[in-house]
Chains A and B, each alone.
Chain A
Amino acid sequence: MTDTKSQILGFVRDRYPQAEITESQDIFALGFVNSLFAMELVMFVEKTFGVTIPNEELRIDNFRTANSMSELVSRLLAEPAVA
């Protein structure tokens, strides 16, 4: 597992220790994660990986799983910043 992915998974697992969350699991489908947590995820990802997620990427699909979040981070780190 990549470092990015394990950090993201660690953050989610810390918050919801009662669920055994895997990297491909849709956390919003678990039933007890509400959309406010999506906002915390955005803040965590931006702060931890030093990226700014562009508005068009702020879609729930990018935050459903640790896999999709780490793909988003890789994509953002690979691309040159656009003004």
Chain B
Amino acid sequence: MTLIGVIGAGVMGVGVAQNLAQTGHDVVLVDKDERILADALATIARNTRMSRLMGGPALDPDEVLARISTAVGAAGAAKADLVIENVTENWDVKREVYETLDRECGPDTVFVVNTSAIPITKVGAVTKRPDKVIGVHFMNPVPAKPAVELIPGFHTSPETVQRTRDLLTAMGKKAVDVKDSCGFISNRVLMLTVNEAAYLVHEGVADAESVDEVFRSCFGHPMGPLETADLIGVDTILYSVEVLYEHYADSKYRPCPLLKQMTDAGLHGRKSGRGFYTYAQ
């Protein structure tokens, strides 16, 4: 029986765990404290219940939850055959998690880095198994999105790529191949767009509604960039822009001060009830 470890029970980890469980996989969901894990299970119960309403399959929350166990601390994934890591886009946090995973997990365990920006080769270098480290950029909300970016690092083996492809197929995901480069395809373009949209609001050129309206009504996007920022998390957007800025040392990625202020003020988007918009809790 295959056991998949899911590290990090934030927005992405919760979506990955749900997607895995609803496609018949056994999951151990790991975070740093019990309260976060309890909230995560409650969110999964709510999201599976709402699945059909959101255009997904009709799901039985009890059946999905029965496939998910929880553990505190990265060592909780020691028995996993494959680990999908979804901790915050902060290099120091990720490095510590990979050091623990590399020590605790079996030598054949594959580490999947779910990141929107951090280079996979850099993560592989922290471990003694760079051939078994691979990137998958899942999109949010994970169970509803049909595709992911698949990013092998410099040393990733063809076997690791195949194992990961097989799992993604079983999860109902199409993999789009991308070479290892900070931000991949999606975030090189999306983060600059969101950042520039935030500058428009910051400079008073337009309000958030108007910015999003142009993207929806003129370009036919289902959501505008600032609604998207609220969905992803304003704090996560800021981290991602900062990662691009540091990696490329290019001023075109300089983060908008408004993103910094919103992050400091706790206006993190949907998950905190307020970001560029206000949400019912």
Report the bound CA distance from A73 to B221 in whole Å. 33
- How many chain-B residues does the 8 Å CB contact rule pick out? 19
- Which stretch (A2-10, A30-38, A74-82) binds chain B? A30-38
Known: A18-B209, A34-B222. A42 touches B279 (CB 8 A): no
Quick check: is B32 within 8 A (CB to CB) of the other chain?
A: no
- Decide if B53 touches A38 in the complex (CB within 8 Å): yes
15 contacts between A and B (CB under 8 A): A15-B280, A18-B209, A31-B217, A32-B213, A35-B53, A36-B231, A39-B50, A40-B280, A42-B50, A43-B280, A58-B49, A59-B52, A59-B53, A60-B53, A60-B55
A57 to chain B, nearest CB (A): 10
Report the bound CA distance from A14 to B223 in whole Å. 19
Quick check: is B216 within 8 A (CB to CB) of the other chain?
A: yes
Chain A residues in the interface with B (C-beta under 8 A): 11, 15, 18, 31-32, 34-36, 38-40, 42-44, 55, 58-60, 63
Set of chain A residues within 8 Å of B167, measured between Cβ atoms: none
Quick check: is B54 within 8 A (CB to CB) of the other chain?
A: yes
A47 to chain B, nearest CB (A): 9
Set of chain B residues within 8 Å of A36, measured between Cβ atoms: 54, 231, 270
Could you mark each residue 13-56 of chain B with 1 if its beta carbon is under 8 Å from any beta carbon of chain A, else 0?
00000000000000000000000000000000010011011110
Candidates A18, A32, A40, A58; contact of B52 at CB < 8 Å: A58
Closest to A47 in B: B280
Q: Give 8 nearest A-B pairs by CB, closest first.
A: A35-B54, A40-B280, A58-B53, A38-B53, A39-B50, A44-B280, A35-B55, A60-B53
Set of chain A residues within 8 Å of B280, measured between Cβ atoms: 11, 15, 40, 43-44
Interface of B is mostly: loop
A45 to chain B, nearest CB (A): 11
Could you mark each residue 199-231 of chain B with 1 if its beta carbon is under 8 Å from any beta carbon of chain A, else 0?
000000000010001001100001100000001
B63 to chain A, nearest CB (A): 12
B125 to chain A, nearest CB (A): 38
Set of chain A residues within 8 Å of B53, measured between Cβ atoms: 35, 38-39, 42, 58-60, 63
Report the bound CA distance from A11 to B49 in whole Å. 22
Closest to A18 in B: B209
Closest to B222 in A: A34
Report the bound CA distance from A42 to B280 in whole Å. 11
Set of chain A residues within 8 Å of B223, measured between Cβ atoms: 34
Report the bound CA distance from A32 to B218 in whole Å. 12
Closest to A31 in B: B216
- Decide if A38 touches B54 in the complex (CB within 8 Å): yes
Report the bound CA distance from A11 to B209 in whole Å. 18
Could you mark each residue 241-281 of chain B with 1 if its beta carbon is under 8 Å from any beta carbon of chain A, else 0?
00000000000000000000000000000100000000111
A36 to chain B, nearest CB (A): 7
Task: Give the interface centre of A36, A38, A59 by most chain B CB atoms within 10 Å.
Answer: A36
- Decide if A39 touches B54 in the complex (CB within 8 Å): yes
Set of chain A residues within 8 Å of B231, measured between Cβ atoms: 36
- Decide if A38 touches B216 in the complex (CB within 8 Å): no
- Decide if B50 touches A58 in the complex (CB within 8 Å): yes
